[in-house]
Structure 1
């Protein structure tokens, strides 16, 4: 039976740090994440494009998708699914919750039992 990783909730930013339909970079524990604000709430994903490792926080948020700044491939922000070439590998997404004015990202805690 596979182990289920415990989530560690980490403050990524404040609610007011991200405009609607925008993205910011968040670095934690040697990893880079992208935090998005859409009309219907906040989302998070790994911070690099699965195609050429470009920083997604340098890309554009349009209609619920993030466009990579390097080759203009797009991912669905909520699901991580590739939406246009050249990207073809799903983007890993992470759970997000808002606690007061803080946006928190759920990161798999590798040290949890």
Structure 2
């Protein structure tokens, strides 16, 4: 489904509470993350070590890279502790019924 740049990436039921699901939008790896009742889409690649963020821990609106422990704000993609110093892209999300849609055309950061 394509709706103004938004594509269906998964269902809401597939995204764990306080967790992440790694998906591909075209050739772009995206982590769909649920935290504190909100759903976010953020690049699934850490800006420091180029590993999948979707494999890290989600807590209090952040996702932690499992390799070196950098945490990123889900709303902005900004790193909040070292070793990462560069933000990761975040993307617009829409919920349509049980479908989660993401637009790569609309970066939030």
TM norm structure 1: 0.86
Partner of 2:11: 14
SS at match of 1:57: helix
- Runs of 4+, deviation exceeding 2 Å: none
Instruction: Give the superposition deviation at 1:91.
Output: 1.2
Instruction: Give the superposition deviation at 1:63.
Output: 1.3
Higher relative contact order (CA 8 A, sep 6+): 1
Partner of 1:55: 52
Partner of 1:65: 62
Number of aligned pairs? Answer: 103
For residues 35 and 8 of structure 1, the distance between their equivalents in structure 2, rounded to whole angstroms, comes to 16
SS at match of 2:87: coil
TM norm structure 2: 0.89
Give the alignment of 1:36-55 within 5 angstroms.
36-55=33-52
Q: Which has the larger radius of gyration?
A: 1
Q: Deviations over 1:74-109 (max 9, x none)?
A: 101111111010011011100001001101001229
Q: Deviations over 1:34-73 (max 9, x none)?
A: 1001223110011100001010011110111100011011
For residues 64 and 107 of structure 1, the distance between their equivalents in structure 2, rounded to whole angstroms, comes to 21
